Amino acid sequence: MLLKEVMKKVISVPGEMPVEVAARVMEEHNVSSLPVERDGEIVGIITERDIVRRVVARQKNAQLTAVEDIMTPDLVTLDSAVDIIVANDVMLRYRIRRVLVTEKNRIVGIVSMRDVSRYLRFVVGQKMLRSREGEFVENVY
C-alpha cells in the first residue's frame, strides 16, 4: 500500500501563531501535530508532545509563546508513491511518529505511526486468517 492511500489531509499553522491557539486547532481537528508555515513554506512541525515538554513543563505562557519557538525544525518527508512498509522503516530509523507526504516536492498529506500500525495490523490479520484456512504464509508482510 502506498502512502497516498493512507495519508491524511494536512492542516498547517503560521509560525507566529500562539501555542494556545495551535492547541485549539489540534483539538478542533482532532490531530496531534501541525506543520508550521513561514512565507508559504513548511519549516517545521509542532506536536502535542512539544507543547507539553517545551511549554507546560517549563511553565511558559502558551498565549505569548509562538509556535515557531517550540517547533521541531527537522522534517522528514516521503513521496506519496512510497510503500507504507518503507515509511515504517524510516519512522523507526529516525525515531519519529509522523512523516509529511509530498508530491512534486509539495506537501500534500501526513502519515502517522498509528496509520502505519493500523495497516500492518490489518495485513498481519489477513495473513493469519489465510494461514488458518490452510494456506501457507511465507512472510507476514
Q: Model confidence over 60-109: pLDDT tens digits?
A: 999 999 999 999 999 999 999 999 999 999 999 999 999 999 999 899 99
Q: Please give the pLDDT value at position 123.
A: 75
The span from the CA of 74 to the CA of 76, in Å, is 7
Report the amino acid identity of residue 62: A
Q: Please give the pLDDT value at position 118.
A: 87
Nine-digit cell string for 8: 491524511
| Domain extent for 39 | 3-132
**pLDDT surpasses 80 at 9:** yes
Q: Please give the pLDDT value at position 121.
A: 81
**pLDDT surpasses 90 at 127:** no
Q: Is residue 139 part of a domain?
A: no
Confidence of residue 132 (pLDDT cuts 50, 70, 90): low
Residue with cell 506543520: 35
H helices present in 3-140, as ranges: 3-6, 19-29, 48-51, 67-70, 84-94, 113-132
Q: Is residue 13 part of a domain?
A: yes
**pLDDT surpasses 60 at 141:** no
Residues ≥6 apart with Cβ < 8 Å to 19: 46, 51, 55, 60, 62, 63, 65, 66, 67, 70
Q: Is residue 141 part of a domain?
A: no
Q: Is residue 19 part of a domain?
A: yes
Total domain count for the chain? 1
Q: Is residue 140 part of a domain?
A: no
pLDDT, the chain, mean: 91
- At 105-126, the pLDDT tens digits run 899 999 999 999 888 887 777 7
Closest CA to 10 of 46, 53, 63: 46
Instruction: List the single range of 17-21, 30-34, 60-64, 132-136 with lowest mean pLDDT.
Output: 132-136
Q: Is residue 12 part of a domain?
A: yes
Q: Which of helix, strand or coil describes residue 89?
A: helix
Q: Is residue 50 part of a domain?
A: yes
Q: Please give the pLDDT value at position 135.
A: 56
> The domain spanning residue 92 has which CATH number?
3.10.580.10
The DSSP bridge partners found for residue 110 are: 8, 100
Q: Is residue 138 part of a domain?
A: no
Q: Please give the pLDDT value at position 44.
A: 96
Q: Please give the pLDDT value at position 125.
A: 72
